[in-house]
Structure 1
Amino acid sequence: MGIDDIPLFSNLRGRLGWLAERQRVVAQNVANADTPGYAARDLARPTDFADALSGANRLAMARTSASHIPTAPGATTSPFIIERTPDSETTPDGNSVVVEEQMLRMAESRMEYDAAIGFYQKSLNMLRLASRKPGG
């Protein structure tokens, strides 16, 4: 069993990928802050735990063995959906990018990225501790 088979680490890897992609989209928004008609974009938030429990966005079950319940046919998941999300104001030339709001999104993503990296490191330390020989 590799570290990639542990759901915690695969979820963290997915979260880090989503945050990196969000930083790329925000950077594109800032680069196009003076482009006429450009609408700011952002990534759609992945399903959170509360939504999954409420049934608003049903999650497909993962099949880890042939004897387990099969997943629904045609079920696909893509956490990287880019949406047009105009900022709070639009200039007369139709550009809706507000650099200050983009900087807030970038800082928010950075804080979430740092938190996920910290959680990843703590989880690795826990695995190392659990794999040590008792008393050694």
Structure 2
Amino acid sequence: MINKIEVMQMAQAMASHAGLRQAAVSQNIANADTPGYQARDVDAFSATYQSTSTTPLKVTRASHLDSGATLNAAVKPAATNAVQSPNGNSVSLEDEMVRAVDIKRQHDLALTIYKTSMNVLRTSIGR
């Protein structure tokens, strides 16, 4: 029942998007010294959610919804203002730290939306 409510779906998608984006940032940081590595990021949540909300999630097995599979296509080279190092690496640790803070904010917002929606539902049924 709860998974059919649009705001709950949005909160879950927002948290999944933040997790995918955090994975991209951590991969960028891990490869900060790798020659030729290009920094990666994920499309904005608004664009990603619009494309996934019209298409149903793909079920890979009965007990698992593969919500990350539709978002994995969104990982792309990051648009960065950083100057490439002489070895061709485009990772800027400062930019990655700023992205990490933004991702934490996005994840916290998703949790707040979820908790608030749950409180509204509990209040509506009299708990």
**Common topology (TM > 0.5):** yes
- Larger-gyration structure (1/2): 1
Please state how far the C-alpha of 1:78 moved relative to its aligned partner.
3.3
- Match for 1:78 among 70, 73, 82? 70
- Asked whether the equivalents of residues 14 and 106 of structure 2 are also in contact (C-alpha less than 8 Å), the reply is no
- Asked whether the equivalents of residues 25 and 41 of structure 1 are also in contact (C-alpha less than 8 Å), the reply is yes
* Aligned twin of 1:70: none
The answer to whether residue 127 in structure 2 is matched with residue 123 in structure 1 is no
Instruction: State the structure with bigger RCO (CA 8 A, min sep 6), 1 or 2.
Output: 2
User: What is the rounded CA distance, in whole Å, between the counterparts of 2:106 and 2:83 in structure 1?
Assistant: 26
* 5+ long unaligned stretches in structure 2: 57-68
The percent identity for this pair of structures is: 30
SS of match in other structure, 1:42: strand
* Aligned twin of 1:103: 97
Q: Deviations over 1:83-105 (max 9, x none)?
A: 11153210000000000100000
Higher helix share: 2
Higher strand share: 2
Q: Report how many residues are paired.
A: 110
* 5+ long unaligned stretches in structure 1: 63-76
Q: Deviations over 1:95-123 (max 9, x none)?
A: 00000100000000101111111111111
- TM normalised by structure 1 equals 0.73
